[in-house]
């Protein structure tokens, strides 16, 4: 069980790191319009990505072990509609999703990792579902960081090691801070 507990702790740390990366990007955006910026009509804005991630988290992590992760109450298509949400409304949705995710993860036990859960009718072990969601959220956090970096341009403050500063950061990496 030691390995399984380590896996759960590590997984929580990975999710925390991705949440932090997105939030460090949000902190550099001073205006609600930045959250709604889209480079073209086929691109998602940060606001749309936040709504999608929150909708996904609420659906996937509510009653995680006992119901399908795609709840009938979820309106996934509406998550991708650009709206007029304020920064505060978007950050409230963001926190709601993460709160449900972390409450669920903190309730899991080592024995739960091999249980089967269902997502969109597909049976997965809890371990597989965790990996699937890490991949999904990291993909969208990368989009958030990319968009925020485009919006801020030269004013962007690096979230990791700035260009040409690698030698100054040897042994003091930030990515693994939350990992156990």
Q: Where do the structural domains in the chain lie, given as residue ranges? A: 2-6+16-159
pLDDT tens per residue, range 72-130: 999 999 999 989 999 999 999 999 999 999 999 999 999 999 999 999 999 999 999 99
CATH number of 2-6+16-159: 1.20.120.450
Confidence band for 173, pLDDT divided at 50, 70 and 90: low
Listed residue (167, 138, 163) closest to 22, CA to CA? 138
What element of type H or E holds 124? Answer: strand 122-125
- Who's near 117: CB < 8 A, 6+ residues apart? 64, 65, 69, 123, 124, 125, 126, 129
With 0.85 as the threshold, say if the pTM is over it.
yes
């Amino acid at each position: 069980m030691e390995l399984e507990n380590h896996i759960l702790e590590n997984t929580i740390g990975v999710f925390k790191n991705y949440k932090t990366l997105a939030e460090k990007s949000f902190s550099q955006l001073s205006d609600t319009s930045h959250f709604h910026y889209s480079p073209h009509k086929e691109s998602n804005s940060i606001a749309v990505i936040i709504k999608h991630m929150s909708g996904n988290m609420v659906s996937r992590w509510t009653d995680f072990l006992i119901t399908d992760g795609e709840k009938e109450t979820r309106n996934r298509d509406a998550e991708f509609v650009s709206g007029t949400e304020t920064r505060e409304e978007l950050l409230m949705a963001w926190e709601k999703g993460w709160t449900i995710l972390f409450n669920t993860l903190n309730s899991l036990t080592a024995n739960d990792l091999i249980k089967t859960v269902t997502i969109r009718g597909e049976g997965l072990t809890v371990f597989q579902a965790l990996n699937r969601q890490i991949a999904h959220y990291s993909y969208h956090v990368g989009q958030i960081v990319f968009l925020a970096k485009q919006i801020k341009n030269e004013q962007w403050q690096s979230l990791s090691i700035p260009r040409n500063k690698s030698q100054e950061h040897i042994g003091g990496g930030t990515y693994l801070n939350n990992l156990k």
